[in-house]
Amino acid sequence: MKIKSHFTAQLSFAPESKGGRSTPVSSGYRPAIQFPPQQDMITCVQTYPDTELVFLGDTVQAEIALLNAEEIISSLYEGQDFDFFEGPDLIGHGTITKVH
């Protein structure tokens, strides 16, 4: 079953030297996402339509679906910035380019 994405975003993955991952990711990657100034972390599913693998330091377009976050979906807007994490580690930053 395909998960419907809630928005498209430009993502910048941090290099390992700045706390990023040590290995690339592919579509289906599920980091936690945070929309400052909110402190809540929400699990998301990232899909990369233009590439199979995303490497450290890459900037890519992604389709993002939020899981169990119905209350926040209506407050999303184009230009909104966010961060994504694996546990306590900041993996990268993003900006919403289109809300679906």
Q: How many domains does the chain have?
A: 1
Task: Write down the pLDDT at residue 58.
Answer: 93
Tell me the pLDDT of the chain averaged across its residues.
92
Q: Is residue 26 one of the residues assigned to a domain?
A: yes
- Of 94, 95, 90, nearest in space to 19 by CA: 90
The answer to whether 99 and 77 are in contact (CB under 8 A) is yes
Structural domain includes residue 1: no
Can you give the residue range of the structural domain that contains 80?
7-99
* pTM for the full predicted model: 0.90
> Is residue 84 situated within a structural domain?
yes
Asked whether residue 68 carries a pLDDT value surpassing 90, the answer given is: no
Q: Which residues is 26 bridged to in the sheet?
A: none
Among 31, 45, 47, which residue's Cα sits nearest to residue 83? 31
Question: What's the pLDDT score for residue 17?
Answer: 81
Give mean pLDDT, residues 74-88: 95
Range name among 32-41, 42-51, 89-98 with the lowest pLDDT average: 32-41
In a domain, 29, yes or no: yes
Type of residue found at 87: G
CA distances in angstroms from 25 to 28, 39, 68, 97, listed in the order given:
8, 25, 22, 21
